[in-house]
Chains A and B, each alone.
Chain A
Amino acid sequence: MSGTMREIIHLSSETLLIDWNLILKKIGVSGNKDHIKIINDIFRTAKEKFLESCNPTGIISDITIEEFDAVYRGEGKNESLTPLTAIFRRADNLALYIVTLGNVLSQMITDLIKSNSITMAHMMDIIASEVTEIVADSIQNYYIKKLSEKDLINERTRVLRYSPGYCGWHISAQKKIFKHVRPEEIGISLNDGFIMDPLKSSSGVMISGPGEIHNFKNNFIFCQKCETHNCRERIKAGTLN
């Protein structure tokens, strides 16, 4: 595709595939039966407040390999070798994306902290962080649907997404992503420290191409400092078509 599609996608929080039990586990529940009940009650309220206040929205904007080369280089602060350097040049199609849960939710979390409802704020924050990724998943599925409508994928195609701030791709590259995607229209801005407002937002690139282009060894210099090594999981679980 040649850098022409730009679409705003409004999602409904009810249609997102949220694994609430998994989120509850991440929040942390001890074995004490009485406490489980109390925590479940707070969690239920946190979940209701979250669903009321979140406004999941995203933008995708396709981009050519040449254009992405400049976006990727960003402010020239990337590690010299990263997984992406090899991947994006072999892609069939690429699209930049930015998603957000909206500022009502972020404000609500801030207000809860101020009013000392810290347990609830903490739960809402974890829910929001998890759901930001789920919204990005939905946007990715939408992109796959679009590609498939245009006959741009086949049985070997695999779509995975990558974000600045991870795996050697410096966070400052967000500046060029913003310039290309122009998410101000859906109320997302970037400050001088490359921080998105609202906070519950995420940005990056979705790369579509033959499955094997997404495989790489995690032996970059920066991998030594990596605590999660979650690229392994992501490569395994990536969206296969």
Chain B
Amino acid sequence: MFEKLMDAIVNIREKEALEITQTLIDGNENVIKILDNCTAAIARVGKRFEAGEYFLPELLMSGEILKKISEMVKPKLEREVVSKKLGKVLIGTVKGDIHDIGKNIVSFLLDIHGFEVHDIGIDISPGKFVEEIKDFQPQVVGLSGLLTLAYDSMKNTIQAIEESGLRNSVKIMIGGGQMSEKISNYAGADAYGKDAMQGVTLVKKWIGVD
């Protein structure tokens, strides 16, 4: 049954995946086990995406299936289990930049991989990042930007985080169209993620998940 569920998710057969989930729930199957299998399915989809077999819509659609399954199993999960996420990630598009398609995808994928994501939107000033970090206390901060002027915004943001004394409490990753390893060094980030899946891999590595 679990193999079938994974197969349905990996091959984007939503109706079938939801039906299997319902049968598993009705049969009193352990919901954590259901979610674990779903997460493993999403990881398979991610591998296909990285191998160039799948494109972005498939990655997103499988993620949507997982979201729906999470909603279905939620009532059965104990409250503390629901809120027990793997770790916290704060993400936003830096000051002066409004491109957010990529950032939304990163947020979504991190969420379905089990992280608590606080997406603070677009055109976010360094000061606002600092404020939000203080409030949310993430382990990882993701800066997104597609414009070349975002290079300096990223640098300024990381500088502001340093000046506020929060730099040692967070890992910082950057990403977005024009970004690169070089810009990551220039801005003083810990790493550059070339796509959303790599963002997930970085967060997993830093937080110590698998």
Question: Which residues does A use to contact B, with CB under 8 Å?
Answer: 27-30, 32, 34-35, 38-39, 42, 113, 116-119, 121-123, 125-126, 165, 170-171, 191, 193-195, 199, 222, 225, 227
When A30-B53, A193-B95, A227-B178 are in contact, do A118 and B64 touch as well, CB less than 8 Å?
Answer: yes
Q: Verify A118–B96 contact, CB threshold 8 A.
A: no
Asked if A34 and B101 sit within 8 Å, CB to CB, the answer is: no
Q: Does B120 contact A (CB under 8 A)?
A: no
Question: Interface size (B, Cβ < 8 Å)?
Answer: 28
Q: Is B98's beta carbon under 8 Å from chain A?
A: yes
Interface string of B119-130 (1 = CB under 8 A from A): 000110000000
Contacts of A195 in B (CB 8 A): 96, 98, 122-123
Interface residues of B in 43-59 (CB under 8 A from A): 53-58
**CB contact list, B1-41 vs A, under 8 A:** 11-13
Do the beta carbons of B56 and A28 come within 8 Å of each other?
Answer: yes
Give the top 7 A-B pairs by smallest Cβ distance, nearest first: A28-B55, A119-B60, A193-B96, A30-B55, A193-B123, A195-B98, A28-B56
Minimum C-beta distance from B19 to chain A (A): 16
Instruction: Write out the residue numbers on chain A whose beta carbons fall within 8 Å of the beta carbon of B58.
Output: 30, 32, 35, 39
Question: Please, which residues of chain A bring their CB within 8 A of the CB of B11?
Answer: 34
Q: Is B67 an interface residue (CB 8 A)?
A: yes
Is B104 interfacial (CB-CB < 8 Å)? yes
Taking the closest CB of chain B, its distance from the CB of A24, in whole angstroms, is 10
- Report A171 CB to chain B, min CB distance, Å: 7
**Within 8 Å CB of A29, what residues of B?**
55, 57
Nearest Cβ distance between residue B113 and chain A, in whole angstroms? Answer: 14
Q: With A122-B57, A122-B60 as known contacts, state yes or no: A171 contacts B147, CB within 8 Å.
A: yes
Contact B57 A123 (CB under 8 A): yes
Knowing A171-B147, A225-B178, say if A116 contacts B64 (CB, 8 Å).
yes
Partner of A118 from the list B63, B122, B147 (CB cut-off 8 Å) is B63
Specify which chain B residues have a CB less than 8 angstroms from the CB of A227 in the assembled complex: 177-178
Would you call B64 and A171 a contact (CB within 8 A)?
Answer: no
A28 surroundings in chain B (CB, below 8 A): 55-57
9 more CB-based (< 8 A) A-B contacts, given A119-B64, A170-B149:
A28-B56, A30-B54, A30-B58, A34-B11, A116-B64, A118-B105, A118-B108, A119-B61, A199-B98
Q: Does B148 contact A (CB under 8 A)?
A: yes
Chain B: which residue is nearest A119 at the CB level? B60
Residues in B whose Cβ lies below 8 Å from that of A118: 60, 63-64, 104-105, 108
Chain A neighbourhood of B104, CB < 8 A: 113, 118, 121-122
Which chain A residue shows the least CB distance to B95?
A193
Name the B residues within 8 Å of A191 (CB-CB).
Answer: 123
| Bound: A195/B145 CA distance, A | 14
How far is A113 from B147 in the complex, measured between Cα atoms in Å? Answer: 22
Q: How does the 8 Å CB contact mask read for B142-168 relative to A, with 1 for contact and 0 for none? A: 000001110000000000000000000
Determine if B96 and A165 form an interchain contact, defined as CB atoms under 8 angstroms apart: no
Assess whether A119 is in contact with B57, with CB atoms less than 8 Å apart.
yes
